[in-house]
Structure 1
């Protein structure tokens, strides 16, 4: 990947604390470095967005309105992202959008007007990295306590200790290639 035109983040466990099936905006808490990572990407003129599986909708545990309210609160705390795209389907629905399938990444890239190959996708589980790869994008794993050890090991060469480091590293690589 020679150019990064957009940074797409997973929501839960990457930008905000993972509260399972959260439908309450008051429970949204940013993770360390999240706002700074988004601000850094924006300061470099990159589009920013969130791509998130929200199976609670398909399971009947959340409404679309609740997810939109939680996203709005996160967006407010993060300083505003360009796009929010989520998959509302249950895991067994067979949709094309649910990560690790590439649909969310492709949709976000198209709406942002950038090639999927110019997107950096940052997430906390293998499905995030696999969706990025399936879409032709670059994926970076930011492991946390919910990340399976086998996933962390599998993607150790495509990982960063935190979301801010993930964005900094990608921008450093892109700048290095641009000046070469």
Structure 2
């Protein structure tokens, strides 16, 4: 539970000299906004886009204010869904960052990268289209590190992006 507003969505744990503090993302951003003297603009909470199959996918927008800049993240509203992020400077135009995030999300879900095929014996398997994909293989920590899904964006703790391209080479 957030120690500032009472929300049940704790996302940030601050370790300070006086002890630890658990905050929701909104309260954390509010504190960082005051500390960094950055005004966070009001943004949409979510948006929906159609993927390469025409399926509507809904993304929640999360704002992360760090001393290194502003990170906007689009997180699909399903477990192990798509995630996309963009990062800008503290003085970035936040509406431009949101547009960049939405464009990146649209592009990412607009391209199929994995397809299902069938062996001659009838068993199905997954294969990479065009012998490559860009993304992240996530795992469920409760399942001994077994991979779960392909996510279309790779980013680190502070939303710095590192492209991952796995290419299958045929001889």
TM-score, normalised on structure 2? 0.26
Higher helix share: 1
Higher strand share: 2
Structure of higher CA gyration radius: 2
TM-score, normalised on structure 1? 0.25
Question: Greater relative contact order: 1 or 2 (C-alpha under 8 angstroms, separation 6 or more)?
Answer: 1
